[in-house]
Amino acid sequence: MSEHTTNSAWGGRFQESTDAFVAAFTASVDFDQQMAQEDIDGSLAHAAMLVKQGILSEEEGAQIRSGLEQVRSEIAAGTFAWSVALEDVHMNIEQRLTALIGITGKKLHTGRSRNDQVATDLRLFLRSQIDEISAELVRLQQGLLDVAEREATTIMPGFTHLQVAQPITFGHHLLAWFEMLKRDFERLQDCRKRLNQSPLGAAALAGTTYPIDREYSAQLLGFDGVCQNSLDAVSDRDFTIEFCAAASITMMHLSRFCEELILWNSSAFAFVDIPDRFCTGSSIMPQKKNPDVPELVRGKTGRVYGHLFSLLTLMKGQPLAYNKDNQEDKEPVFDTITTLRHCLRAFADMVPMLETNAENMLRAAAQGFSTATDLADYLVGKGVAFRDAHEVVGKSVRLAIDRGCDLADLPLADLQALCELIEEDVYESLLLEGSVAARNHIGGTAPEQVRAQVKKQRSQLAS
């Protein structure tokens, strides 16, 4: 005979107890207890509103406040006894509150439902987690600015198609990553703004007959306003999807950064050295130093993508209003939060400690005729049409390939044989340092511009 259990919060309607397996299968307390602090905060605000509206007495409000703070203390101390039979974080806390203060504890749920309660908790929880994630993101941005300033004059090859294209500075390259993270930060703040509306008071789906003050409870909880439709308030999970979408884009950016770090750290490139503390060795090859942190972050990106698609799929077929399906929204969100925060922390710790091999970078930039475009620009400056200049440079590159040398090593006479307008000053354009310094405009790779951007972005981060 199977075991059975009854949840006193709703058992009055039922003639038989819930099967023990079904109780465990439908319970969420194992993971939604992460929202315990938010659940208590929401209940305190709801109780304060009920007192303000005369629905509860001052004495009852004081009892509830005292009881909830004791529950908070028990949870913090690890002495709180969580029960799967009580399904979720909400009923576990309410049951303990009632055990502490008696029948007044049962009055707390007046004018609300678990539907608006869980929606409120999730918004509060995600809001606080976005703030923590944003702080880690800013820490990574600060680290990138520090390294960019340090490497403002370090020349490296810029790539397209993973082929040497034009010389740039390493500082300039890092500022590209800063710009990506800047957009990631803005997306998170945008998401936070939209989620910061209170569903509390929407009750099950239609509101409540009690004379509640939703604006007051929203104000107590730091919300910017209230959800305007009770049906939407309890069934909306757009904010979780939007967060996971923003997280997916951030992880995509980190994964691209990882790919470059893995390449640069390899012996084939040897542009950077990742500190030992962020790497591991091989069980069989003693010479190996594996870039495990970038590789793992790159791998975890797919995990976050999966959570986004999980939520989209979860919501696509649900009718209004709340459905039990929505219990499945929390684990993807919780894991996305943890994954993103940990990846950002690892990067924020690692990036400032990257060591660069400037000689290897410079040597690589000198290969692949990276100043070819500069030669074309030089010819345009002499009055040659760009397409004609492009052809001259192509022939120059072919000549250098045949001779096994760089463009800067070709004799002036050979260059003049291709275009008589070329003069001795052409070699200034063919030097890596000159090429980089010449791109001295907003967004350019010149060291002067890199330093200016670092200064500008630092001031914006501090504001």
Q: Where in the sequence numbering do the catalytic residues fall? A: 161, 282
Written as six digits, the tokens of 17 are 């107890």
Question: Rounded CA gap, 183 and 190, in Å?
Answer: 10
Helix (H, G, I), strand (E, B) or coil at 362: helix
Closest CA to 140 of 302, 342, 308: 342
Burial class of residue 402, CB neighbours in 10 A (0-12, 13-18, 19+): exposed
Burial class of residue 416, CB neighbours in 10 A (0-12, 13-18, 19+): middle
List all residues 6 or more positions away from 389 whose beta carbon is below 8 Å from its beta carbon: 375, 376, 377, 379, 380
CA distances for 324 relative to 86, 227, 306, 328, 364, angstroms: 16, 21, 21, 8, 58
Question: Rounded CA gap, 144 and 351, in Å?
Answer: 7
**Maximum Cα interatomic distance, the chain, rounded to a whole number of Å:** 101
Beta bridge partner(s), residue 168: 156
Closest CA to 151 of 254, 260, 272, 263: 272
List all residues 6 or more positions away from 181 whose beta carbon is below 8 Å from its beta carbon: 137, 140, 141, 144, 250, 253
279: region left, alpha or beta (phi > 0 left; psi from -120 to 50 alpha): beta
How far out from the chain centre does Cα 169 lie?
A: 27
Helix (H, G, I), strand (E, B) or coil at 5: strand
